[in-house]
Amino acid sequence: MRPPSTLLAASPLVEGVTGQYFEDCQQAAPYTPGLRRGFAAYAVDPDAAARLWRVSADMIGDARQ
């Protein structure tokens, strides 16, 4: 039996879907306090992503920032 992540990665049902979080082979929703499901708001924060990119590029000396 294949792990669910392999099935999700190979599924034609999600062909073309990018930049999304999945949980139990379903598209995840934002975290709701009191539930043990969902993704944290910081995981989809574009400012945090840009900052991470800059810091990472600085660490490896990449001039394409």
Task: Say if 16 falls within a structural domain.
Answer: yes
Q: What is the dihedral angle through the alpha carbons of 63, 55, 46, 20, rounded to the nearest 10 degrees?
A: 90
Alpha helices in 1-65 (DSSP H): 4-10, 46-60
Domain, as residue range, for 19: 4-60
Task: Say if 43 falls within a structural domain.
Answer: yes
pLDDT per residue as tens digits for the range 14-51:
888 888 888 887 889 999 999 889 999 999 999 999 99
Structure tokens at 13: 């049902």
Q: What is residue 10's predicted lDDT score, i.e. its pLDDT?
A: 82
By C-alpha distance, which of 30, 22, 20 is closest to 5? 22
Structure tokens at 2: 């294949």
Q: What is the pTM of this model?
A: 0.61
Per-residue pLDDT for 2 more than 60? no
- Higher-confidence residue of 22 and 3: namely 22
Task: Say if 28 falls within a structural domain.
Answer: yes
Task: Say if 65 falls within a structural domain.
Answer: no
Task: Say if 9 falls within a structural domain.
Answer: yes
Q: Total domain count for the chain?
A: 1
Asked if 31 and 41 touch (Cβ cutoff 8 Å), the reply is yes
